[in-house]
Structure 1
Amino acid sequence: MLIAQITDVHLGFEPDNPNEFNRKRLDQTLRTLVAMKPRPDILLATGDLADTGEDEVSYRRLREAVAGLPFPIFYAMGNHDGRAAFRALFPDTGHADGFIQYAIEEHPLRILVLDTLEDGRHGGGFCETRADWLRARLAEQPDRPTLIALHHPPLATGLSWMTEDPGAAWIARLREIVSAHKNIVAMISGHLHRQITTIWAGTRLSVCPSTAPQVALDLDSIDPDLPDGRPMIVADPPGYAIHYWNGTELISHYDTAGDHLVLARYEPALQPLVQMLVAEKQTG
């Protein structure tokens, strides 16, 4: 099973421009995914779909951008999103107790999509109502391999300004649940506009780079009272992830959309190498 992931689309950053920079980057990424062989089975869009979530125009543009994709797309909420405006344009997306939380059951790997949007906060949230939903879903199939998708990675990243308080109540609540279920094979998230991987609560936590511009790698301390001119946002190419479920493990690949400089192709000169590698694999 191949699971594509995009995140932090931020449509509407230029609200009066339907052909905005972020839309061009999204379109470029979607073209890359559609051209893949084999194509992904599904696409997860893990939040910050819009830049201003109360504006239905941004979600209308998103709906136009994904129309006609040859694979289903599933959504999570980010801190820039708005549940009411999103549901007005995407009424078929799953929800529970007023939150955009749901299970994707139709594939070999079960996927639980969490809602970490906390109104009025840039960082995440995960209240007891949402936690009860997650506990109930995990209790339904305690032995089935399960992937958790969410927007906010619940960890202190080391980044100067894009990070969480690891002692926050919502993080402790989520950690208690995840650490108690060994069938959670991984967690995937967005929010940080960078590729990051760690082990959290006993499972792998992977952060996908954004289709919108990336956050600069900056592990230095930052003084909120002293702007020092450091880079914060950089126009690196739009990123995405491909998560490959082989029936036992989840393997995550990351790439950027667009053309790559090709230095070698599978032509007769490289056939002996390919033959050797295939034979070596078959013989163990």
Structure 2
Amino acid sequence: MLIAQVTDIHLGFDPDNPAEFNRKRLDQVLRALNDGPNRPDLLLATGDLTDRGDADSYRRLANAFSQCDFPVWPCMGNHDDRAQFAQYFPHIPQEDSFVQYVIPLEDRRIIMLDTLEPDRHGGAFCERRAAWLSARLDEDSTTPTLIVMHHPPVEVGIDWMNTHPEEAWVQRFTAAIAGRPNIQAILCGHIHRAITAPWQGTTIAICSSTAPQLALDMRPMDPEAPDNRPMIVADPPAYALHRWTDHGLITHFATADDHVMLAKFDAGMQPLVRMLIDERPVSE
């Protein structure tokens, strides 16, 4: 199974502009997924779908996703609004007023979580959401499972976007997934950078954004002393591809810009390809 991920779309950052920069970047990624060699079985859109949580941005987002030849499954980020989202994505389940639901797959499942707290930039995971997650995990302790959420529960080293490991929501989430060896990975967004980290016996994979990215600067930041460091950079729009097999999850991070081809599979490269494939053991 091949799962694509986009995140931090921030549609509507430039409102009322049909040629919005962030929409162009999203369309560029969706074209790469639709028309490229790695068409996914489904697409996860992991929060900050819009920039202001307004209805018109969700309308335009639904229009953008309508070009996809595969199912699209979104979750909430801190820039989103559940009520406005529901107007244009009524088919996405909500549980106890939160956008939390299970995507059942053949011999696998994906659990989508809601870490939105209105008027808070960082993550949230209250007792009700934690109880719902614990119940879903109790229902099935063996099926390979992915957890998908906007906010990563791990400190990534970029000072102004860090999650502190002692935050209450992190402690609740940690307790809910403790002792669940069938959780194969946790997929997140929010940081606008591609990051992987081991965490609590599993792996966190953070996808970079279709919108502009965060600059990579891990120096401490003093909020009282602006130092003119770069914070946002316009690197190419990004996405992730997660190849989920019986052996686990393999994540590739990619960008949707044009790539200069330096070699192709032609007669000249055929001997190398044949040699490399012939080196592999033959399955009986």
Task: Give the TM-score, by structure 2 length.
Answer: 0.97
SS of the counterpart of 2:204? strand
Residue equivalent to 1:184: 183
Q: CA deviation at 1:47?
A: 0.1
- What does residue range 54-203 of structure 1 map to in structure 2 within 5 Å? 55-203=54-202
Instruction: Tell me the CA shift for residue 283 of structure 1.
Output: 4.0
Q: How does 1:221-232 map to 2 (within 5 A)?
A: 221-232=220-231
Q: For 1:11, what is the secondary structure of its paired residue? A: coil
Matches within 5 A, 1:19-34: 19-34=19-34
Residue 35 (str. 1) matches residue 35 (str. 2) = yes
* Structure 1 residue ranges without an equivalent (≥5): none
For residue 233 of structure 2, what is the amino acid of its counterpart?
Answer: V
Alignment-derived partner of residue 274 in structure 2? 275
Name the amino acid aligned to 1:104: I
| Alpha-carbon distance, 1:258 to partner | 2.2
Give the superposed CA RMSD: 1.1
Task: Work out whether residues 108 and 247 of structure 1, in 8 Å CA contact, stay in contact via their aligned partners in 2.
Answer: no
Deviations 1:63-88 (A, max 9, x none): 11111311000001000000000001
1:162-188 CA distance string (max 9 Å, x none): 111110111011112223200000000
Superposed displacement of residue 157, structure 1: 1.2
Distance in 2 (CA, whole Å) between partners of 1:163 and 1:282 is: 44
Contact 1:242-1:252 at 8 Å conserved across structures = yes
Residue of structure 2 in register with 1:18 after alignment: 18
Match of 1:4 in 2: 4
**Does the 8 Å contact 2:2/2:244 carry over to 1?**
yes
Deviation per CA, 1:82-120, whole angstroms, max 9, x where unpaired? 000000111110110000000000344210000000111
Cα distance in 1, alignment partners of residues 215 and 224 from structure 2:
20
SS, match of residue 45 in structure 2? strand
Instruction: Give me the identity figure in percent.
Output: 54
For residue 201 of structure 1, report the CA deviation from its aligned partner.
1.2
Q: Which amino acid aligns with 1:138?
A: L
* C-alpha separation in 2, matches of 1:85 and 1:19: 22
Residue 246 (structure 1) aligns with: 245
Aligned-partner SS, 2:3:
strand
- Matches of 2:160 and 2:38, distance apart in 1: 38
User: Which digits, 9 at most, give the CA deviation of each residue in 1:208-266, with x for residues without a partner?
Assistant: 00000000001001111111110000000011000001122100001000210110000
Q: Which residue of 2 aligns with 1:46?
A: 46
Instruction: Give the match's secondary structure for 2:242.
Output: strand
Contact residue 47 and residue 191 of structure 1 kept, 8 A:
yes
SS of equivalent to 2:56: helix
2:107/2:143 contact within 8 Å kept: no
Specify the code of the residue in structure 2 equivalent to 1:10. H
Alpha-carbon deviations, 1:2-51, whole Å to 9, x = none?
00000000000001212100000000000000113341000000000000
Rounded Cα–Cα distance in structure 2 between residues aligned with 1:10 and 1:111: 24
Kindly indicate whether the alpha-carbon contact (under 8 Å) linking 1:46 and 1:77 is maintained by their aligned counterparts in 2.
yes
Whole-angstrom CA distance in 2 between matches of 1:193 and 1:90: 24
Local SS of the residue matching 1:269: coil
Unaligned runs of 5+ in 2: none
Deviation at 1:59, TM superposition (A): 0.3
